[in-house]
Structure 1
Amino acid sequence: MLEAPITSTDAYRYVWDGRVQLAGYSPYRYVPLDDALAKLRDPVLFPGLSPKEPSGVSGIPKDPAQLPVDDVRTRINRPGVPTIYPPVAEAYFAAVALFTPWSAGTLGLQIAAALIAIALTWLLAVQSPRWAALWGWSPIVALEAGNAAHVDVLAALLITAAVIATARRPRLAAILLGAAGSVKLLPLLLLPAFRRRRPIVALSTFIATYVPHLLAVGTLVLGFLPGYLNQEGFDDGSSRSAILALLLPPGARQLVAAVLAIALAAVAFHRTKRDPIALTCCWLYGAALLIATPTYPWYGLPLIALAALARRPEWIAVPLAAYLAYASYGHDTRQGLVYLAAAAVVVSAVTIRHRFVAESGLTAPPLRTNTGGRDETHRPRNLGRTRRAAP
């Protein structure tokens, strides 16, 4: 926490968005370089541009996707475009900014993210202290939450709380999932794992968070999201789906990725009737990352929490692969091979586990749930042998 963010400059955008909201402006309406917000500049965020110096920027550019990512006058990335973050994330930024002096820079967010990571460790420890260490001792969590202050840690907390609440408070679980989707959009991929009317409640919650901003700024509430998807290659698959890129041309990747995503959603909807929801959410989220192959390791923070909750440590290979892909930016083949290796690790672990379970005569590994403040272990029916399944 005592070092400036290392892996990205996203935290500076968080600081700015929170400050803009406290000043009564919408981060969806104004870009950081806009001279209308010049009075909010300080030497930490704008080392090369004082409040009295004009930036020459006014309003939102017509084609923001073509603007450079960085500007030497500010530490905020993409300072020529409006924010990309959904409403719950923006509310979080504003809340942290309320208690953070301007001179502290990103420290307030780093402390907040670290506290959220600790809270999530406790939440996982209530389920299983041993498996909580998979999250609590993770260097990835320390780096991407405590140092880089990525908002994905908040999404991880809400997703985990949603999965845990499903058994006894399904409506609350759906609301938490919708809120997680309003932190980062990726959690909405877990909707197929939530049965009955829960997806409707989750989507209603997600939409409801946008209503105040929609009334205030209209369609500007989309922010830079369309431009971001274009820059990052999500719209046509040109620079994403690195595993598929090893075999398919850019035009075909998008179609194949969509087909795979739909198929996985259908499988998840079917499997959640018989498998623990934590397990379904874990492999569904991890498989989505393997399809999209993002080069940002912090996207994997929710997956680490789900891996701990579902007791599937092999999925940690996916965020680890993201670091190698991050370091291999511009080398598409290398990125594809790195993610392919992560997929091989996951498939190998799943195969070995299923073989061991089959040989032991158990239908599934033991599942421990928390009931009334005490842990109870529910073991599946033994089909003839007494050997215990692997944890």
Structure 2
Amino acid sequence: MMPKQDKTAVFAAGFIFFAGISATGLLIPRHHGWMLLFAYFSAFFAYIWLCKSEIKLTHLLAIGVTARLILFLGLPSLSDDLYRFIWDGALLREGFSPYAGLPAEYLSLGIPGVDQKLYDQLNSQPYYSVYPPLNQLLFWISTTIGTTWLTQANLLRCFFLMADLGSVYFLRQLLSHQKNHSVIGWFFLNPLLILEATGNIHFEGLVVFFILLGLYTLEKNRTISSGIGFGLAAATKLLPLIFLPAILMKKWLKEGATVTIVAGLVVSISLIPFVNSALLSGMQSSLGLYFQKFEFNASVYFLLREAGFWFRGYNIIGTLGPTLSVLTLLGVLGLALNGQRRKWPLSKTMLFSLSLYLLLATTVHPWYILPLIALGLLSGFYYPIVWSLMIFVTYFGYQEAGFELSTLWIVLEYGVVLSTFAIELIRSHEKST
């Protein structure tokens, strides 16, 4: 039985945790940077406290579910992506393709729910929709059933809450050799996961569930089910496709090929309802902008961009973005080969592959790192936990008039994360020798 003093400390940590999550996700405007960071860092401090306490698994789950349900009380305050979700869902509900035109082209058609009020909330007015078909299905469900923005948001949040609980189940199965259930707390109570998935409704939470489904079924030699899991992950966000080389080489020809083929079929089938020239041209246009125009919280890219300014006198993102994409592909293939040669667990190869992608990317939003948290816990690496703390400094750049983040914050973020990664890598190498 836990001593009374320890119980008091846990109750205090729980109170700070709920207060920090509530303040960060509901109460503090995004441009109030110092207040936001204080609330988030407080929640993170309580998160560490709770995970290091001897708490029953059921209590950990209750705390995590409660924190998520609190966020159901309001619309996302840290992200306005929700409004594009509602926009796309309303178009689908009325029989229009969200890929066929720009938002402004639909505004004058008198489509129910697609109005000026919603249009004014969009952060992507000049861009075609880039959200994959599985996302669009959930958008359609939420706008078909929900009648207000909040009910539509909460319907989507229900999917993410269930996905997080499903992720806990697969994590427990994959880590069944560990008797200490605190690793579940490190995942389920992670403030970034709670705020960015359930709170801000970013689909990486769903991606985590499908990735863990794919890993668990692959471990059980259910290759078709595994292919479906990884395929659904890629149908939600295309990024999980970078894991296929590791899967193919880890299981070699028969099993790896089956998973890869099935995953490809799942992604292809999900695209069938939308395949037309508008889809291809619209997504090509938006993806081209992503790799050649967008830049946010990058590491290697920002260093090379500064070199470009020095030698060329202008921003070289137009050539640097695609070049880094090619280097990422080559690096992922190299990691897959090295992982096979060194007999790494598949989760470790996937962890390093995704980390490489994020280090070379031109855009790294906080929610992009959510899959790293689960893969890190499976592989025994905790630098993704550290990153989930440090990446929140990017919110310090939001101002009422726009976004401007000092380079010092980015240097601090990546300096801490890469130092933690280096220490863990050295320790893991020492253990293996």
**Which bin holds the TM-score, normalised by the shorter protein?**
0.7 to 0.9
Shift of 1:236: 7.2
Compare 116-125 and 323-332 and name the one that shifted more: 323-332
Of the three residues 213, 223, 244, the one matched with 2:274 is 213
Q: How big is the shift at 1:331?
A: 4.3
Q: Which of the residues 132, 136, 146 maps onto 1:100?
A: 146
Change (3 A) 1:136 1:225: farther
Aligned to 2:32: none
Q: List alignment gaps of at least 5 residues for structure 1.
A: 50-72, 359-391
Cα offset, 1:91, TM superposition: 1.5
Aligned counterpart, 2:414? 339
Cα offsets for 1:193-226 (capped at 9, x unmatched): 1113133332232223212211xx3243453553
| Higher relative contact order (Cα pairs below 8 Å, separated by 6+ residues) | 2
CA distance in 2, matches of 1:299, 1:256: 17
Task: Provide the rounded CA distance (Å) in 2 between the counterparts of 1:278 and 1:291.
Answer: 20
Closer, same or farther in 2 for the Cα pair 1:238/1:8, shift >3 Å?
closer
| Residues in 2 aligned to 1:29 and 1:151: alpha-carbon distance in whole angstroms | 22
Separation (CA, whole Å) in 2 of partners of 1:213 and 1:180:
18
Runs of 4+ in 1 over 6 A off after TM superposition: 236-240
Q: How far did 1:346 drift?
A: 1.0
Shift of 1:74: 2.3
Q: How far did residue 240 of structure 1 move?
A: 7.1
1:127 match: 174
Report the CA distance shift for 1:266/1:200 in structure 2 as closer, same or farther (over 3 A): farther
Higher mean alpha-carbon deviation, 92-101 vs 284-293, is at 92-101
Letter in 2 for 1:201: V
Question: Aligned runs of 1:185-196 on 2, under 5 Å?
Answer: 185-195=238-248, 196=253
CA distance in 2, matches of 1:322, 1:282: 17
> Do 1:243 and 1:337's aligned partners in 2 also have CA atoms closer than 8 Å?
no
Q: What is the SS of the residue equivalent to 1:149?
A: coil
State the AA in 2 paired with 1:140.
L
- Aligned partner of 2:18 in structure 1 is none
Match of 1:68 in 2: none
SS in 1 for 2:111: helix
Letter of the aligned partner of 2:97 in structure 1?
S
Rate the CA distance shift 1:76–1:151 in 2: closer, same or farther, 3 A: same
Amino acid at match of 2:326: A
How far is 1:321 from its partner?
3.8
Query: Which of 158, 164, 175 matches 2:210?
Result: 158
* 8 Å CA contact retained: 1:161, 1:173: yes
User: What SS does structure 1 have at the residue aligned with 2:373?
Assistant: helix
Between Structure 1 and Structure 2, how many residues are aligned? Answer: 328
- Per the alignment, residue 140 of structure 1 pairs with 192
* Cα pair distance change 1:235/1:340, threshold 3 Å: farther
Task: Give the Å deviation of 1:37.
Answer: 4.6
* 1:299–1:319 Cα contact (<8 Å) kept: no
Q: Name the residue aligned to 2:339.
A: 271
Residues 269 and 332 (structure 1), Cα distance of their counterparts in 2 relative to 1, 3 Å cut:
farther
The residue number in structure 2 matching 1:313 is: 382
Q: Is the 1:18–1:97 contact (alpha carbons within 8 Å) kept by the matching residues of 2?
A: yes
Shift of residue 262 of structure 1? 0.7
Give the secondary structure class of the aligned counterpart of 1:39: coil
Q: Which residue of 1 aligns with 2:299?
A: 242
> Taking structure 1 as reference, are residues 326 and 286 closer, same or farther at Cα in structure 2, changes over 3 Å only?
farther
Tell me the CA shift for residue 85 of structure 1: 0.4
Change (3 A) 1:260 1:112: closer
Please give the TM-score of this superposition, normalised by the length of structure 1: 0.74
CA distance in 2, matches of 1:80, 1:237: 13
Residues 244 and 341 (structure 1 numbering): CA distance in 2 closer, same or farther, change over 3 Å?
farther
Q: 1:295 to 1:288 in 2, by over 3 A?
A: closer
Going from structure 1 to structure 2, the CA distance change for 1:4 and 1:256 (only over 3 Å counts) comes to closer
| Alignment-mate amino acid for residue 261 of structure 2 | I
* RMSD over aligned Cα atoms: 2.8
- 1:83-115 deviation line (CA, Å, top 9, x unaligned): 110111112222333332335242222232222
Tell me how far 1:286 sits from its aligned partner. 1.9
**Contact conserved, 1:290 with 1:318, CA < 8 A, in 2?**
no
Give the drift of 1:28.
0.9
SS in 2 for 1:166: helix
Residues 233-285 of structure 1, C-alpha deviation per residue, up to 9 Å, x if partnerless?
x2378767433432542547443563254123222234146221112112211
Deviation at 1:81, TM superposition (A): 3.3
Secondary structure of 2:84 counterpart: helix
Amino acid at match of 2:265: S
For the residue of structure 1 that corresponds to 2:236, the secondary structure is coil
TM-score by structure 2 length? Answer: 0.68
The change in CA–CA distance for 1:25 and 1:263 in structure 2 (over 3 A counts) is same
SS in 1 for 2:128: coil
Residue range with higher mean Cα deviation, 103-112 or 347-356: 103-112
Note closer, same or farther for the CA distance 1:229–1:325 as it changes in structure 2 (3 Å cut): farther
Report which of the two has the higher share of helix: 2
Instruction: State how far apart, in whole Å, the 2-side matches of 1:332 and 1:244 are.
Output: 16
- Distance in 1 between residues matched to 2:430 and 2:172, nearest whole Å: 29
